[in-house]
Amino acid sequence: MRLAGKVAVITGGASGIGRATVLKFVREGAKVVVADLNLEQAEAVVAEVEALGFAGAASASKVDVSEFAQVEATVAHAVEVFGRLDVIFNNAGIAGGKALLDHDPAVDYAPMIRIDQDGVYYGILAAGRQFRDQGTGGVIISTSSIYGEQAAELAFSYSAAKAAVISFTRSAAYELAEYGVRAVAITPGRVATPIIGQFSAELQALFASEQLRGRMTAPEEIADVVAFLASDEANVINGTVVHVDDGYSAYKQRFTLPTF
């Protein structure tokens, strides 16, 4: 088990990529704090972990990642319950979009920045301080997006927040290296999460067609990569962006070639 003895905080751990990563981590031997705004749903994931036979391997913590004090409290909860912290997966986020000139800044900009951008900053800061104080190093993994590296439709605020996550990751890797801390960002493409599941079948089919396998990525496939990145096997992956987008960023559209 590649994560045996490690303790992790996973934000947004109650659903989607977060939930899949919780289950992957405990199967790999880790202890996990399931951190989510929805405490009831986080507790349901803990119960799921228990039912799988991993008694005592998970604990729920309610957190609004847009509030630094709550992120600090979640890190403290991990230390209180499991004795230390080795990994934080800054995964909590929201999505949504609107044409720029139709924006209401209070609705279409501020919440995205507070959660998708500030929430990652707070996780990096709180975990980084804990790693420094422990003197044992640690790993910071943060969820960016393919949109963090390119312009996209109806994604002005979302893309900006996800681009910031990439910048945060590079800077954190540089500044925290002296404490034995690694920082990595992942850029998922179209993942079959509840957020995407609310869209029409037609739109979901379009999303699937944008990836090289012609289907949506399963949350479990992202979790597999995150578990590797959190492990000692990934010690040389630091300060970089790991694309987990099934080739979305490699091409734009398939087309029938003309006769030459």
Is 202 inside a domain boundary? yes
Domain count, the chain: 1
Is 161 inside a domain boundary? yes
Average pLDDT value over all residues in the chain: 95
Report the phi/psi class of residue 215: left, alpha or beta, with left for phi > 0 and alpha for psi in -120 to 50: beta
> Half-sphere exposure of 33 toward its Cβ, with a 13 Å CA cutoff?
31
Q: Residue 124 sits in which domain range? A: 7-242
Read off the CATH number of the domain in which 74 is found: 3.40.50.720
What are the tens digits of pLDDT across the range 196-244?
Answer: 888 888 988 888 988 999 999 999 999 999 999 999 999 999 999 999 9
Is 251 inside a domain boundary? no
Is 115 inside a domain boundary? yes
Is 257 inside a domain boundary? no
What are the tens digits of pLDDT across the range 14-52?
Answer: 999 999 999 999 999 999 999 999 999 999 999 999 999
> How much is the pLDDT for 244?
97
What are the residues facing 142 on neighbouring strands? 90, 185
> How much is the pLDDT for 257?
65
Is 254 inside a domain boundary? no
Mean pLDDT calculated for residue range 53-68? 98
Between 10 and 255, whose confidence is greater?
Answer: 10
> How much is the pLDDT for 260?
67
Is 249 inside a domain boundary? no
> How much is the pLDDT for 196?
84
Query: What are the residue numbers of the active site?
Result: 158
What are the tens digits of pLDDT across the range 139-192?
Answer: 999 999 999 999 888 899 999 999 999 999 999 999 999 999 999 999 999 999
Is 248 inside a domain boundary? no
